Amino acid sequence: MAVDSIGSSKNRDFWRARPVLVTGAGGFVASWLCEALVGAGANVVGIIRDSAGERLLRLHGIADRMNLVHGSIADFALVERAINEYDVDTCFHLAAQAIVGVANRSPLSTFESNIKGTWNLLEACRLSKTITRVVIASSDKAYGDQPLLPYREDTSLRGRYPYDASKVCTDVLARCYAATYDLPVTVTRCANIYGGADFNWSRLIPGTIRSVLLDEDPVIRSDGTPERDYLYVTDAVAAYLTLGQHAPEAGVRGNAFNFGSNHPVSVLALVEQILVMAGSKRRPRILGQAKGEIDCQYLDSTLARQTLGWSPQIELDEGLRCTVAWYADYRKTVLG
């Protein structure tokens, strides 16, 4: 199911011919964002590190309609060159090492990408004479374990594990540059984003769908009880685009915004929902081995609704149907 993340023709006109940089352009969410921007007529520049990123952009059919810069955001000169040579007006910073398990095994490379990469991007934007808006991807994981839920934007950031801590640093650095240098920076704190074209099989939703399509029992690493907030990818893209448009405005500039469905669901209930939806008779294998799991995480998105006019459009049931259908179609295309 195709969903227009851009919205009205007025919004589409806003992005037409606008020079936009997307870091981590070959990632799951960033590739969907690039597709929306290319579709709106923006002049999109994408920084990608590995060939897998370019393959994902080709899967979306947009690799040849973008300018691709190959390299790491840990390389300041590369980031600065990308902004200056393409006269970038707007930057969406999504590049990150985003897999929690990888972060736990390899914290230094995660910090290099997620923290150093962020200060490189912010400093390059500060020095630029063309940048008018910057959107930085933080995460709901930055909030960490809290006694009161849902998370609100004024909730303290208490992320302690490597990925969570890296997003705390990302978040604080972005707001530091806004406060100190009046850089037009805003921050997204999104719930767990899901949808087609996410090939990180260690994540719950794509991993479960893959198991279903292979007629295997899906694996739950936790005990199945943790509750999470899930946001369909086109709603996430709409959040980025909306925040990008409003970034320089008072009340938006320098602030962070939550984007979520506001409806947490347990891991086990989600897996069972996917199994029923796919007509599978398989049952989940519950390992109960996950360490450092926070029992419940979900967001209050009231500020985004009131300030930006954003609200999620895709309910979980519809989003899961779209996602299962995407992977089923992809498997048919690849395997015949």
DSSP codes joined into one string, 5-19: SS-SHHHHHHHTT-E
Tokens of 231: 């946001």
pLDDT band at 166 (very low <50, low <70, confident <90, very high): very high
179 CB neighbour count, 10 Å cutoff: 11
Amino acid at the residue 102: V
pLDDT band at 3 (very low <50, low <70, confident <90, very high): very low
Alpha carbon 21 to its chain centroid, in Å, reads 15
pLDDT in tens, 284-320: 999 988 766 788 999 999 999 999 999 999 999 999 9
Q: Quick one: which H or E segment has residue 107?
A: helix 107-111
pLDDT band at 6 (very low <50, low <70, confident <90, very high): low
Q: How far apart are CA 74 and CA 89, in angstroms?
A: 21
Give the CATH number of domain 11-193+231-262+297-313: 3.40.50.720
Tokens of 1: 């199911």
Q: What does the domain layout of the chain look like in residue ranges?
A: 11-193+231-262+297-313
Alpha carbon 36 to its chain centroid, in Å, reads 14
Q: How far apart are CA 167 and CA 212, in angstroms?
A: 32
pTM summary value: 0.95
Q: Quick one: which H or E segment has residue 48?
A: strand 43-48
Distances in whole angstroms, Cα of residue 134 to Cα of each of 122, 171, 178:
8, 13, 10
Phi-psi region of 319 (alpha: psi -120 to 50; beta: other; left: phi over 0): alpha
Q: How far apart are CA 39 and CA 65, in angstroms?
A: 10
pLDDT in tens, 204-231: 999 999 999 999 999 999 999 999 999 9
Catalytic annotation present for 163: yes
Annotated active-site residue in 163, 194, 240, 298: 163
pLDDT in tens, 35-67: 999 999 999 999 999 888 899 999 999 999 999
